[in-house]
C-alpha cells in the first residue's frame, strides 16, 4: 500500500506521458535534462533552492501528486540528444530529495525539424516528390516537415491493407492505371444513374474529375511509375457516384451513406449545402437515420467512419451552418496550405475536429494537391477542402489497419489526441488550450493529422468507455436579443450526476438553439464551458440576410470542450454584429452533452501496466487520473 501511495502519482505521470507521447518509443534511452523530482515532506518550500544548487534554473510544482516538481534548465531545447545523468545522481543523494526520475525523450517536437535524409522512402512514381502533403521537404516554397507524417506510418508497415474507403462524389475513373489495382468494384455503386458502374460522365471541361482526384489521394498505387502515391496506397477505394444528377435527394444521400456498411470502412464526402454564406441546411430525415445506423451498426457495430470536408465558403460562411460537417457522427476536416496558413476558402467553426492540406493563396502551380486525374492523367492542381477530406480518410485507413477494432469514437479520440499544431497559423483566431489542456484552434480544430502518431497510438488503443447523453439544461422562454448589447444566458448543470446517463468526460457538446432575427447573418453566438473554454458557435455571415426563418432547433456543435468536466455553469452569449441595428428573439437554448462516465484512456493505462499495478488499485489510479486528466494533460500534451 505504502509503495503505491508513494509512487502512485509518479506512475500516473509516467503512464499518462507514455500514453500521450506515442507508447513505446523511448528512443534507445535518450534522456532529457528535464527531471521529475519528488521532495520529502517538509522540503517542498525549498524546491527552488534545491534545483539551483544542482544546476537547474527553473522549477515548477506539478499540480498533481504530492511534492512533485519539474526541474529543468532555463533556456535549452526540451530534449538534448545527450545524457545528463550527472545532475540526477547528485540530486539523488540530497537529503531533501525522495526520488528523481529523468524524463525520457520522445520524438514529438521534432516533427517540423525532421532530417529529411532520414525519410527513407524510395518511390518510383513521378509525382511523389510533388506530393508535399505526404512528405514536405519545402517543395513549392512550403514549410519542411509540415505534412501528414505518413512516412512514419509507412515505416511501421501500415499502408491501408484490408481497409476500404468509399469516395462519395461524381464517380471514379476506375480504369485509371494508378487506381485500377486498388479499385473495389463490389463495394462501388452509381446512385446518379442506378447501375454498378460509377464511371464519371464525360464533359468537355472535365467537370466530373473531382471523385477521381479524391480517389488518388487515398489509394493511388505506389511504386508503379504512374502519377503519385495514395496516403493509404494499399487500401481499396470504392466509387459511390451520387453528385451528378440535376437534384440531390434524401434517398440518394441516404443510400450512398449506407451503402455496404459491412464492407466499406470509411466514407469520404467532399460536398455539402451550398457554400454561399447564407444557406443553413443539413441532412434530412433518411440521411440522418442512415448516418445514425452507420455509426451504430456499420463495421460490425464499431461504426462507419464518415469524413467530411468542412466547406469552401471562406470567411463569409460558418461550417456550423452545415449540418453534415457539424454532425457529431462525421469527422469534419479543414485545410492548411503548404506553409501552414489558412486557405482563403476555409470556413471556420467549432465543430471542425482536425485539418489536413490543400492548395491556396500561392500562385506556384506545384502548391496544389498532386493526384490522379480523369482518363489516366495526373494533376498537380486538386484543390479546396475537397482535397483535404480524402487525405484524412487515408490517414484513418492507416489507423484502422493498425487497429481494426477502433470504433467511430476511438477514431475521433485519436484525432483529438494526436493532431498537431505544428506550424499551422491562423491570422484570425488564436490557438488556445481547453480545460484539460488540449490545444485547439477555431479554424483548424485540434491541428493537422499526424499519421505516424495516430498509428502508434492506435496500435495500443483500447476502446473508450460507453457513451452517455445528458440534457444538461434547457431554457425555453422568450428573450429579446438587444440591438446594442449582448444577451447572456446561463445553464448550471450537474451533468446528470447520480443518474444512469451521467456524463463526466465530454466528447461533443451541442447547443440546440431557436432564434429569429431581422438579419440572421448578423447573429453571433458564443458559448463558454464551466472550465472556461469559449466556443464560437456562430460567427457573422455578412451575406445571410434571412429575416424570416432564423434557426429552428439548430444543433450548434462544439468539439472544443473534449475531455472537460461539464459540471457547473455554461454561458451563452448572443450578439448582433454588423452596421445596422437588428432585432431578434431567442426562444430556446437546450444544452446536450455527450461523453463518458469513467475516464477515457484509464483502461488502457491499467492494461498496459498491469504487471506493475494490481487491478485493485484501479480505483485509486482512476482518482489520480481524474486529477491528472483535468489539470495536467496541459503540461503533458506539449504540442510543439
Ligand X SMILES: *[C@@H]1O[C@H](CO)[C@@H](O)[C@H](O)[C@H]1NC(C)=O
Name the maximum alpha-carbon separation found in the chain. Answer: 82
Count residues near ligand X (CB under 6 A).
18
**Taking CB positions, which residue lies at the least distance from ligand X?**
575
Binding to ligand X by CB under 6 A, coded x per residue (else -) over 507-536, reads ---------xxx-----x-x---------x
Task: Name which of residues 562 to 591 contact ligand X (CB under 6 A).
Answer: 573, 575, 583-585
Report the alpha-carbon distance of residue 463 to residue 532 in Å, rounded. 28
Min separation Cβ 222 and Ca ion, Å: 6
Out of Ca ion, ligand X, none, what residue 226 binds, judged by CB under 5 to 8 A for its kind, is Ca ion
Ordered alpha helix ranges (H), 403-503: 408-418, 451-460
Out of ligand X, Ca ion, none, what residue 202 binds, judged by CB under 5 to 8 A for its kind, is none
- Our CA angle for 438, 441, 446, nearest 5°, is 50
547 binds ligand X (CB under 6 A): yes
311 binds Ca ion (CB under 5 A): yes
Q: Which entry of 34, 87, 210, 382 is annotated as an active-site residue?
A: 210
Binding to Ca ion by CB under 5 A, coded x per residue (else -) over 316-355, reads -x----x---------------------------------
Min separation Cβ 215 and ligand X, Å: 16
Annotated catalytic residue 626:
no
Which C-beta is closer to Ca ion: that of 549 or that of 615? 549
Report the alpha-carbon distance of residue 142 to residue 133 in Å, rounded. 10
Task: Name which of residues 331 to 390 contact ligand X (CB under 6 A).
Answer: 375-377
Sign of CA dihedral 291, 295, 296, 297: positive
Binding to Ca ion by CB under 5 A, coded x per residue (else -) over 263-302, reads ------------x---------------------------
125 binds Ca ion (CB under 5 A): yes
According to DSSP, the β-strands at 164-169 and 266-269 are parallel
Min separation Cβ 226 and Ca ion, Å: 4
What b/e sequence results for 247-277 when a residue is b if at least 16 CB atoms lie within 10 Å of its CB, and e otherwise? ebeeebbbbbbbbbbeebbbbbbbbbbebeb
Report the alpha-carbon distance of residue 150 to residue 146 in Å, rounded. 11
Out of ligand X, Ca ion, none, what residue 117 binds, judged by CB under 5 to 8 A for its kind, is none
Which C-beta is closer to ligand X: that of 359 or that of 535? 535
Report the alpha-carbon distance of residue 632 to residue 10 in Å, rounded. 13
* Among candidate residues 443, 365, 409, 413, the one with its CA nearest the CA of residue 132: 365
User: Which residues have C-beta within 8 Å of that of residue 535, sequence separation ≥ 6?
Assistant: 350, 509, 526, 527, 528, 529, 558, 560, 561
Report the alpha-carbon distance of residue 583 to residue 523 in Å, rounded. 10
Torsion angle in degrees (nearest 10) through CA of 120, 123, 127, 133: -40
Report the alpha-carbon distance of residue 309 to residue 241 in Å, rounded. 17
Min separation Cβ 33 and ligand X, Å: 36
Min separation Cβ 529 and Ca ion, Å: 25
Min separation Cβ 574 and ligand X, Å: 6
Annotated catalytic residue 169:
yes
- Our CA angle for 235, 239, 241, nearest 5°, is 160
Annotated catalytic residue 259:
no
Which residues does the annotation mark as catalytic?
Answer: 169, 210, 386
Q: Which residues bind ligand X (CB under 6 A)?
A: 122, 124, 375-377, 486, 516-518, 524, 526, 536, 547, 573, 575, 583-585
Residues that bind Ca ion (CB under 5 A): 125, 178, 190, 193, 195, 197, 220-221, 224, 226-227, 275, 311, 313, 317, 322
Amino acid at each position: 500500500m505504502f509503495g503505491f501511495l508513494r509512487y502512485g502519482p509518479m506512475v500516473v505521470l509516467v503512464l499518462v506521458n507514455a500514453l500521450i507521447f506515442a507508447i513505446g518509443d523511448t528512443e534507445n534511452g535518450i534522456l532529457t535534462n528535464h527531471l521529475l523530482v519528488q521532495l520529502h515532506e517538509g522540503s517542498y518550500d525549498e524546491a527552488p533552492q534545491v534545483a539551483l544548487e544542482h544546476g537547474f534554473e527553473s522549477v515548477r510544482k506539478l499540480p498533481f501528486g504530492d511534492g512533485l516538481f519539474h526541474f529543468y534548465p532555463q533556456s535549452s531545447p526540451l530534449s538534448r540528444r545527450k545524457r545528463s545523468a550527472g545532475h540526477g545522481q547528485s540530486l539523488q543523494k540530497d537529503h531533501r530529495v525522495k526520488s528523481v526520475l529523468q524524463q525520457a525523450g520522445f520524438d514529438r517536437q521534432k516533427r517540423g525539424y525532421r532530417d529529411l535524409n532520414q525519410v527513407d522512402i524510395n518511390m518510383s512514381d513521378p509525382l511523389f516528390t510533388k506530393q508535399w502533403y505526404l512528405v514536405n521537404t519545402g517543395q513549392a516554397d512550403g514549410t519542411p516537415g509540415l505534412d501528414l507524417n505518413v512516412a512514419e506510418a509507412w515505416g511501421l508497415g501500415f499502408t491501408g491493407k484490408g481497409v476500404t474507403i468509399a469516395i462519395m462524389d461524381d464517380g471514379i475513373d476506375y480504369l485509371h492505371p494508378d487506381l485500377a489495382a486498388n479499385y473495389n468494384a463490389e463495394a462501388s455503386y452509381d446512385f446518379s444513374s442506378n447501375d454498378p458502374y460509377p464511371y464519371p460522365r464525360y464533359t468537355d471541361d472535365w467537370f466530373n474529375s473531382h471523385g477521381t482526384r479524391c480517389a488518388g489521394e487515398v489509394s493511388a498505387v505506389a511504386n508503379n511509375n504512374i502519377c503519385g502515391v495514395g496516403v493509404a496506397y494499399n487500401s481499396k477505394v470504392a466509387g459511390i457516384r451520387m453528385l451528378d444528377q440535376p437534384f440531390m435527394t434524401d434517398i440518394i444521400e441516404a443510400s450512398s451513406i449506407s451503402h455496404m456498411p459491412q464492407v466499406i470502412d470509411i466514407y469520404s464526402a467532399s460536398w455539402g449545402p451550398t457554400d454561399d454564406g447564407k444557406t443553413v441546411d443539413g441532412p434530412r430525415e433518411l440521411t440522418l437515420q442512415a448516418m445514425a445506423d452507420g455509426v451504430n451498426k456499420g463495421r460490425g457495430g464499431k461504426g462507419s467512419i464518415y469524413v467530411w470536408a468542412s466547406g469552401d465558403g471562406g470567411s463569409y460562411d460558418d461550417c456550423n451552418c452545415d449540418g453534415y460537417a457539424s454532425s457529431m457522427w462525421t469527422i469534419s476536416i479543414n485545410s492548411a496550405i503548404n506553409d501552414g496558413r489558412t486557405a482563403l476558402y476555409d470556413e471556420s467553426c467549432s465543430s471542425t475536429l482536425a485539418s489536413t492540406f490543400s492548395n491556396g493563396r500561392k500562385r506556384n502551380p506545384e502548391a496544389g494537391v498532386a493526384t490522379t486525374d480523369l482518363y489516366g492523367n495526373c494533376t498537380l492542381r486538386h484543390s479546396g477542402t475537397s482535397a483535404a477530406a480524402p487525405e484524412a480518410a487515408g490517414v484513418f485507413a492507416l489507423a484502422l489497419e493498425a487497429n481494426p477494432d477502433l470504433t467511430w469514437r476511438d477514431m475521433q479520440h485519436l484525432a483529438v489526441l494526436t493532431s498537431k499544431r505544428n506550424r499551422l497559423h491562423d491570422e484570425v483566431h488564436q490557438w488556445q488550450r481547453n480545460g484539460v489542456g488540449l490545444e485547439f484552434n477555431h479554424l483548424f480544430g485540434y491541428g493537422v493529422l499526424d499519421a505516424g502518431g495516430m498509428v502508434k497510438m492506435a496500435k495500443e488503443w483500447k476502446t473508450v468507455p460507453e457513451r452517455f447523453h445528458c440534457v444538461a439544461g434547457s431554457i425555453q422562454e422568450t428573450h429579446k436579443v438587444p440591438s446594442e448589447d449582448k444577451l447572456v444566458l446561463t445553464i448550471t448543470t450537474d451533468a446528470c450526476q447520480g443518474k444512469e446517463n451521467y456524463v463526466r468526460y465530454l466528447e461533443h457538446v451541442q447547443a440546440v438553439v431557436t432564434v429569429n432575427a431581422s438579419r440572421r447573418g448578423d447573429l453571433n453566438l458564443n458559448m463558454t464551458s464551466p472550465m472556461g473554454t469559449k466556443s464560437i458557435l456562430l460567427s457573422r455571415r455578412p451575406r445571410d440576410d434571412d429575416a424570416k426563418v432564423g434557426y429552428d432547433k439548430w444543433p450548434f456543435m462544439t468539439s472544443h470542450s473534449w475531455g472537460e468536466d461539464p459540471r457547473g455553469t455554461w454561458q451563452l452569449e448572443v450578439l448582433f454584429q454588423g452596421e445596422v441595428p437588428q432585432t431578434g428573439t431567442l426562444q430556446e437554448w437546450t444544452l446536450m452533452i455527450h461523453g463518458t462516465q469513467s475516464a477515457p484512456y484509464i483502461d488502457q493505462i491499467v492494461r498496459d501496466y498491469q504487471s506493475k499495478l494490481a487491478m485493485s488499485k484501479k480505483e485509486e489510479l482512476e482518482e489520480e487520473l481524474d486529477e491528472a486528466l483535468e489539470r495536467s494533460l496541459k503540461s503533458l500534451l506539449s504540442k510543439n
